[in-house]
Amino acid sequence: DLLNIKVAIDGPAGAGKSTVAKELAKKLNFTYIDTGAMYRALTYKAIIENINVENRNKIVELASKIDIELKNDKVLLDGIDVTNEIRTPSISEKVSYISMIPEVREIMVKLQKRLSDKGSVVMDGRDIATVVMPDAQFKFFLTASPEVRAMRRYNELTSKKIPVKYDDILNDIRKRDKNDTERDVAPLKKADDSIVIDTTNMSIDEVVSKMYNIIANG
């Protein structure tokens, strides 16, 4: 179906998924859907409402009535722009505990599936090719070494004047990799039919071109 092309991008933190997905979506004139932003928005809401991320019942209750909208690169939580607030290290540190909860994933996946049926999309996350869009025509799995991923995130945060230490970022990335790949429900893993791109030594443009060529020729 030429009117409903789905591109799935999965991989660990800092592999370049969201940057590349955004560029690729622009080039293809597809809608970009950032699923990590949804888990982050829920985490943010839990924090401002003083709910402990380990209080599963409360988190599920919160998830069941959350209003998340992705609008032109902006993330709206209950109508309020939280695009920048959800990227801070304190959210990154807690989000993988929330995304482990099966009922939370069920709610998010339902929302994501609904979004994926509205025309052509590029969607990035951890379980997109395996769970959310198993029928995607194009599936990619981006990776890079943990050290390079941590350095990218370090550079990104320091350029935004957010004070961070490289070692803390590397530790967070290692812990999240572990939580995301070892959880019981929809763990981060490559789908059998995903194309792996190791971006360790690649620029953003190189990754985007590689993916674009695969899609344009496919």
Q: Cα dihedral angle (80, 83, 88, 92), rounded to 10 degrees? A: 100
Q: How far apart are CA 59 and CA 63, in angstroms?
A: 6
93 is a contact residue toward ligand CDP (CB under 6 A): no
Q: Cα dihedral angle (48, 53, 58, 63), rounded to 10 degrees? A: 70
Q: Which tokens sit at 8?
A: 């799935």
CB of 17 to ligand CDP, least distance (A): 3
What lies within 8 Å, CB to CB, of 57 at 6+ separation is: none
Q: Is 130 annotated as a binding residue?
A: no
99 is a contact residue toward ligand CDP (CB under 6 A): yes
Candidates 204, 209, 212, 215; binder of ligand CDP (CB under 6 A) is 204
35 is a contact residue toward ligand CDP (CB under 6 A): yes
Q: Is 43 annotated as a binding residue?
A: no
Would you say 186 and 126 are in contact if contact means Cβ atoms under 8 Å apart?
yes
96 is a contact residue toward ligand CDP (CB under 6 A): yes
51 is a contact residue toward ligand CDP (CB under 6 A): no
CB of 56 to ligand CDP, least distance (A): 15
Q: Which tokens sit at 12?
A: 């660990």
What residues from 63 to 92 belong to the interface with ligand CDP (CB under 6 A)? 92
203 is a contact residue toward ligand CDP (CB under 6 A): yes
One character per residue 107-136, x = contact with ligand CDP (rule: CB under 6 A): ------------------xxxx--------
CB of 65 to ligand CDP, least distance (A): 20
The secondary structure of 97-124 as a DSSP string is HHTT-HHHHHHHHHHHHHHHTSSSEEEE
Looking up tokens 């059998």 gives 192
The sheet with strand 80-81 has its strands ordered as 68-71, 74-77, 80-81
CB of 67 to ligand CDP, least distance (A): 18
Burial class (CB in 10 A: 0-12, 13-18, 19+), 133: buried
One character per residue 162-191, x = contact with ligand CDP (rule: CB under 6 A): --------------x---x-----------
Would you say 68 and 106 are in contact if contact means Cβ atoms under 8 Å apart?
no
Residues at the site binding ligand CDP, with contacts judged by CB under 6 A: 11, 13-19, 35-36, 39-40, 92, 95-96, 99, 125-128, 152-153, 156, 176, 180, 199, 202-204, 207
